[in-house]
Amino acid sequence: MADDREPPPLFDDEKPDKKEEEDDLFATPNEAPKEEVKDEPASLPTEPAQDKASEDLFAADDDLFGDKQEGPVEVDTSKLRRKLTEDVDDLSPIEEPKPLIPTAADSGKPPQSDAAAKKEPPKEKEKAKEVKPAYKEEPANVSTDQPLLKPMKVSVDLHTPKPAQNMQEESAAPPQLEVVDEPPPEMDISGEGEEVDLDSPETEGPSSPAKMEPDSDSSPLEAPPMAEVLPPAKPVTEEKPKPTPAPRKPSMEKSKEEVGYTSFAQIEEEESGDQFALDIKVHDPGKIGDGMGAYMSYKVTTQCLDFGEEKKTSIPAFRRPSMTVTRRFSDFLGLHEKLSQKHVHIGRIVPPAPEKSVVGMTKIKMSKEDTSSTEFVEKRRALLERFLQRISIHPVLQMDPDFRDFLEQDELPRATSTSAVSGAGVLRLIKGVGDTLSKVTIKMDESDQWFEEKQNQVEALDQQLKKLHASVEALVTYRKELGISTAAFAKSTAMLSNSEEHTALSRALSQLAEVEEKIEQVHLEQADNDFFLLSELLKDYIGIIQAIRIVFHERVKSFHNWQNAQQTLAKKREAEAKFKQTGKTDKIAHAQEEIREWEGKVE
């Protein structure tokens, strides 16, 4: 573990260098004269960054840093380590990405003014303490991972500060100054590109609504307040400087968590059903209306189950312990639409809803009582049930107000955007095309190994599942045909037995025919079971993997956005530097405003 973990930080350290070069290209022309001027703006970005980045997670690091400032280089390693371990243990719920944080934080510090560095730590520490108890609820296994990371962390801590401090002392030396100047953007790069975590906690500082989400993941106890907090969390699609950063960052972290939890934990959970507190049943499908306007409605019964005392309080938002509502298919689609609008954007995997089947529905609409349509309805019912159960076991999605409304409210506003032929459908189609295009055009160098592995793995899994699904489908078809041919054989054997003269043989043949008929039933039944149990399951997971890929894509997109913002920011800075140089003071203010705005976006 430790070995595997090591590379990212190394990588991290290297990466800035590369970026540096790029930045140098931009910067070099103005370098020498800029020196003084740049010092100031350079520190500016770091401060807000620090502000946000330095809540509970970083409190520890800041603290350390504070120590270092006071009793500088003599900080002994053991002390450091102990401190770190303590902090790490406390903070365990925040996932793996952490190792990188120290690097980012530490290297980000040098340019910072001492005063700021000293002031901030205590505040953050308080905050951190407040939050810590909640985190302790986290299962122990996550923290078992953490200790392994420590050695590496410490080593980073020990190494990076020294050069940094040297730099501060010799800040006059131009070549080093370059390095000092450059860090802020670099830090952002390394911090964001690889470790999104850095920013996700930041939300806590400004008390933006989204910040609560990580908590909800970690402890069900915090659920009640969160339910109220969540609605505002709705990510805004237009890029407003302030709220966007919040959702965007968690997205990466979230998807990471999600992939880990959803795809594997769910498998587990499906086997041992006692992990979710909601028991949702979809039943009694019924046809409502006639002709083309007909639709199917399903009864959705929800029961809050109590598993142990802790969980009793887990979902107090429901008014009754058990409720039943009637929903039509498009309501389900509507729910999916709403949930994915809210959550996919920030990196959560929303379970895929069953597909709309025009053919199947038309069949139902047309036919009165038909075996094929009842099969279809039954299949769909099972799909819907699984869909709801998936949502219900998701720690965040189960808290979603839309989901609750769906379960509770007697009447739902009709979802209009889900009908297959509506304008919204067309829009969706166009958007889908756009997405695929951007999927092709946006290339992202995967900087996080975790994601890289994960993505590869998901791809592989997808491929395998698809293959498996195809072969199961083939099996089902073969088996059905086997059933049919067995039936034909039974029939012909019966005929044969009729024309057989020899009575005993005739009897034997007719018995054979009977047996074959039974075998046919068995074959058909088995084909059905193959289909429902295996094929559908695989299809489900293919759907989920699709959802995961969407999330990955979302991540790539946000990375892309962020990089764009990054570039613009660099340009603005340059422009500002020019203004200052040429002495156009009136424009400086404007430029600074712009810079601030873009800094916000970069965050």
Binding site for another protein (CB under 8 A): 1, 4, 96, 139, 141-142, 144-145, 260-261, 264-265, 267-268, 271-272, 450, 453-454, 456-457, 460-461, 464-465, 467-468, 471-472, 474-475, 478-479, 481-482, 485-486, 488-489, 491-493, 495-496, 498-502, 504-505, 508-509, 512
Residue nearer to another protein on the CB measure, 104 or 458:
458
Helix (H) or strand (E) holding 286: strand 278-288
- Integer Cα distance of 29 and 405 in angstroms: 60
CB of 472 to another protein, least distance (A): 7
Residue nearer to another protein on the CB measure, 78 or 503:
503
- Integer Cα distance of 432 and 260 in angstroms: 26
- Compute the chain's Rg from CA coordinates: 30
Which three-class secondary structure state does DSSP give residue 567?
helix
CB of 145 to another protein, least distance (A): 5
Residue nearer to another protein on the CB measure, 272 or 441:
272
Residue nearer to another protein on the CB measure, 206 or 260:
260
Residue nearer to another protein on the CB measure, 139 or 286:
139
Residue nearer to another protein on the CB measure, 409 or 464:
464
CB of 111 to another protein, least distance (A): 34
Measured CA distances, 145 to 96, 149, 150, 265, 476 (Å): 8, 7, 10, 17, 43
Q: Which residues contact 404 (CB under 8 A, 6 or more apart)?
A: 317, 318
CB of 468 to another protein, least distance (A): 4
CB of 529 to another protein, least distance (A): 12
Which H, E and C letters describe 450-507, residue by residue?
A: HHHHHHHHHHHHHHHHHHHHHHHHHHHHHHHHHHHHHHHHHHHHHHHHHHCCCHHHHH
CB of 34 to another protein, least distance (A): 43
Cα angle 124, 131, 206; round to 5: 55
Tokens of 260: 């880990």
Tokens of 451: 């994601």
Q: Which residues contact 405 (CB under 8 A, 6 or more apart)?
A: 412
Candidates 396, 358, 9; CA nearest to 234 is 396
Candidates 236, 235, 193, 198; CA nearest to 566 is 193
Residue nearer to another protein on the CB measure, 398 or 493:
493
- Integer Cα distance of 405 and 562 in angstroms: 35
Candidates 138, 308, 127; CA nearest to 217 is 138
CB of 458 to another protein, least distance (A): 9
CB of 101 to another protein, least distance (A): 18
CB of 4 to another protein, least distance (A): 5
Residue nearer to another protein on the CB measure, 409 or 511:
511
CB of 528 to another protein, least distance (A): 14
Q: Which residues contact 510 (CB under 8 A, 6 or more apart)?
A: 493, 494, 497, 498
CB of 487 to another protein, least distance (A): 9
Long-range contacts of 460-465 (CB under 8 A, 24+ apart): 461/545, 462/542, 462/545, 462/546, 462/549, 465/538, 465/541, 465/542, 465/545
Partners of 287 in the β-ladder: 296
Residue nearer to another protein on the CB measure, 214 or 245:
214
Residue nearer to another protein on the CB measure, 17 or 268:
268
Which three-class secondary structure state does DSSP give residue 18?
helix
CB of 355 to another protein, least distance (A): 23
Query: In this structure, are residues 150 and 88 in contact, taking their beta carbons and an 8 Å threshold?
Result: yes
Measured CA distances, 461 to 32, 35, 511, 543 (Å): 53, 52, 48, 12
Residue nearer to another protein on the CB measure, 125 or 539:
539
Within 28-113, residue ranges assigned H as helices are: 31-53, 56-70, 77-91, 100-108
Residue nearer to another protein on the CB measure, 440 or 504:
504
CB of 466 to another protein, least distance (A): 10
- Integer Cα distance of 102 and 98 in angstroms: 8
Residue nearer to another protein on the CB measure, 546 or 567:
546
Query: In this structure, are residues 189 and 90 in contact, taking their beta carbons and an 8 Å threshold?
Result: no
